[in-house]
Amino acid sequence: MTVHQRDWQAFVVPADDGAVHMDLAVDGITCAACMGEIERGLKRLPGIRKARVNLTSQRLAVDWVEDQTGADEIVAELERLGYAAHPFDPASQKERQDKTGKQLLRCLAVSGFAGMNIMLLSVSVWSGNASDITPETRDFFHWLSALIALPTVAYSGQPFVKSAFRALSAGRLNMDVPIVIGVGLAVALSVVQTIQHHHHAYFESAVMLLFFLLVGRYLDHNMRGRTRSFAENIAALKAEVAARINPDGSVREVPLSKIAAGDLVLVAGGERVPVDGVVSSGISEIDQSLVTGESVLVPVKPGQRVYAGTLNGAGALQIRVEAASGATLLDEVNRLLETASQAKSKYVRIADRAAQLYAPLVHGAAGLTFLGWLLAGMEWQPALVIAISVLIITCPCALGLAVPAVQVVASGQLFKSGVLLNSADAIERMADIDTILFDKTGTLTLAEPELVGEIDRQDPVLGLAGQLALASRHPLSMALVKATGALVPLADVQEVSGAGLETHVDGQRLRLGSPLFCGATTEAIEERLLAVPGASLLAVQYGQEPVRLLAVRQKLRSDAREVVDRLKAQGYALEIVSGDTQPSVAECAEALGIENWQAAMTPSAKIACLEALQSDGRKVLMVGDGLNDAPALAGAHVSLSPVSAVYLSQAAADAVFLGKKLQPVFDALWLSIRARRAIEQNLWISTVYNIIAVPIAVAGFVTPLMAAVAMSASSLAVTANALRLKWGNRVTTDADATTAFGSAASPKGE
C-alpha cells in the first residue's frame, strides 16, 4: 500500500490537553542530523506541539492540535524531507531493521570481495607500467576491473545513493552526497580512460572507498540494533486477557481493555498479575523482582497491594482492580522508558557534528578546483581528474572510522573485563561521568541470597531441612540447600501456599518456611531481626525441638568495598538509590562507606533523583538491575546493568557487566577515558590530514590513485591509533588507577 492510499487519520489517537498523537516508523534515519532535520521540519507546521524522534527505534512521536494540521500533512512533510513513513508497529519495524542490517552486510561482503580482486588486477598494472606490460594487456586488466567494479558499485553503493538522493530531493546535503559524487565520478572517469586506452583507471579506489565506509555503517547499525527491543519486552510482560469474576461468581476471560477499576479478577498460580490492585482473598507469594529488584518472594494476603507484570506463586488470588490497561505501574515504566530513551538519543556524537559541515566544504573545494584549473587554461579532462582527486582524498573515510574504530577495539577490551556494550556511543559518554548512582539489590549485592554466618552441616535437623528445601525453588530455600549441601529430597512433601513446606520424618512433623508458619513467637522474630538488620528469616521446626530462625540476606559483592573506595578516591560522587527497606539499605551503605543513600524508591522517584542531579550539571552513571531501575537506566547519561538483571533492565542499559565482582564497573570507566582520548586523537588526525592533503590535491600534485592511497592511509592511521587501546594493562591497583585517570584528563575537573 502506498502512502497516499493509506488512511493516516485512522492511526491518530487522543492525547493530553485536547491534542492528538501519532506514532510513525520513519525509514532512512541514520544520524543525529536526520533527527534534527525531521523535528525542525515538522515543528514548522501549524499546531505541532511536540515532534520527537528516537534514533534507536527510528520511531517518530508527534503531538498536535488536530484542527490546525492533519495527519496527511505530517506524512507529506516527511516525504518532502525525503523520508518514508509507516504506521509504527514493533514487529514490522523490527523486520525492517533486520532487513536493513542484512542488506548492509551483503553490500559490505560484496565490496570487500570485489575490492580485493580489483586490487590484484591493479597491482599487476602498476608493476607492469614500471616494466614491459603491453597496452593490450593493460586495457584487458582495466576492462576486467570495470567488469567487477560497475556491478559492485551499483549494488554496494545503494545505501549511500539512497541517502544522498533523499537529501538532495529535500534540498539539503549530508555526508553521503560527496561519497556518491566521488565514487560516481571516479568510476565514470575510469570507464572513459579505459575506452581511450589511458595508463590509469581508478576502479579500485571507488570500490575500496565503499568497503571502508560500509564497515563503519554496518558497525553503527549493528550496535544500535541491540537497544531496540526493550519496548517489545515490556509488551511481553503485559497480559492480554484477565479472568474477571462476575457478580454471580462465574469467571470469564475478557480482553484487558474491558477491565475497569473496581472489577474483581482471578489470578491462578504461576500466572502474571494483569492489573494493579489489592488482594481481596487468597494467600500466595509474589515474585516482585520486576518491580523492586528483590529476588526474595514476597508473601501476600488480603489487603496487600500487587502490581501488573509481577509473577504469582502457587496460590490463587482474587484481586480488586485499582488500575488496568494503560494506567498500571508497568505502563508507567514503559512511558518513562520511552521518554528517557528519546532524551538520550539526542546525544550528538563528535563525528556527526563535524560531518554536518564537511559535505559543503568538500563540494566547494572540488568545484572551485575544477573551475580554477579551467580558468587557468587547463583542458576539462585533467581538470576533472584533479577535482576527483580532491573529492577522493577528502572522502570522510577516516572521519567515518574515527569513532567506530575506537568503539570496536574498546568493546573488545571491555569484553575481556566482563563488560558488554548495548549502545554504540556509551564509551564516549562514560568518560564524562562525575556521579554514580547504585541500586543495592543485585548490583552492590549478589542476586542470590545466602545464610548469615556459618552453618553446622553435622546438625541432623538442619540436614533434614536442607533436604526438605529441595522441594522448593524459593530463593530462601535454595540458600539453605546451598548451605547444607543437601542432595536427596524428602518424600511426601506438602506445600502450604504462602507459608512453606511440610512433611513427616520418623513420625515427627518437619516444617520449613515463614517464622509464623513454624510457630516462632513474635518476640523471637523481633530479637533475631534486631541481631541481623535487613535480613529475611527462614524458620525450621522439627517435632518438639525449639524453632530455629535462620537469617538470610543478599551478600555484598566480594570486591564492592574496594571498588567503592577506589571510585571515591578518583573523585566520583557515589549514592545508593534502592527500592529496598531503609534498614537494609542503611546497613549496605554503612558497610561500603557510602554516605548518601535513599530507600523505598519507586521508578518515578529514581527518575526524579536523576533529573535533580542532571539539572545541577552532573553527568550520572546509573548502575542497576531491576525493572524499577529501567527508566533511570535509560535516562542516565550512561548506564550499566549486571548480567543477573531482568532482561528489560539489560536492554535499557548501555552496557551489561558479567561475573560476581564490581571491578568491571571501574574498568569500564577507566577504559572509557582512554577511548575518549583516542577518539579525539582520531578526529585530530582526520582534521590535520585534510588540512595538509587538500591544498596538495588542489594544486594538482595528486592523482586519483594517490588520493585513494592517501585516503586509505588516513583510515589505517586512525585504525592503528584505536588499536593502541589494546596495549594498556588492566587497572588493578590504586597506583594504576591514579595514573590512568590522571593521565586521561578526567572530566571531573580534578
By residue count, the chain amounts to 750
3-class DSSP assignment, residue 275: coil
Comparing CA positions, the residue from 706, 138, 115 lying closest to residue 385 is 706
- SS3 state at 135: helix
Cα-based distances in Å from 704 to 127, 261, 748: 17, 72, 46
700 sits in the region (left: phi over 0; alpha: psi -120 to 50; else beta) called left
Residues 6+ apart with CB under 8 A from 547: 515, 518, 519, 520, 524, 539, 540, 541
Instruction: Compute, in degrees rounded to 10, the torsion defined by CA atoms 439, 443, 449, 452.
Output: -80
Nearest to 480 by CA among 526, 513, 509, 444: 513
d(CA 700, CA 141): 26
CA distance 333 to 693: 52
Angle at which helix 158-169 crosses helix 135-156, to 10 degrees, equals 60
A 10 A CB-CB count for 195 gives 12
Indicate which residue of 425, 439, 625, 654 is catalytic: 439
Closest CA to 174 of 162, 164, 185: 164
C-alpha cell at 415: 569484553
β-pairing, 435-438 with 84-87? unpaired
Whether residue 439 lies in the annotated active site: yes
Collapsing DSSP to helix, strand or coil, 473 comes out as coil
Pairing of strands 59-64, 20-27: antiparallel
Sign of CA dihedral 60, 61, 63, 69: positive
Return the closest-CA partner of residue 279 out of 249, 310, 325. Answer: 310
Q: What separation in angstroms does the CA of 218 have from each of 159, 180, 552, 716? A: 11, 17, 48, 18
Alpha helices in 345-375 (DSSP H): 350-375
Q: Active-site residues: which are they?
A: 439
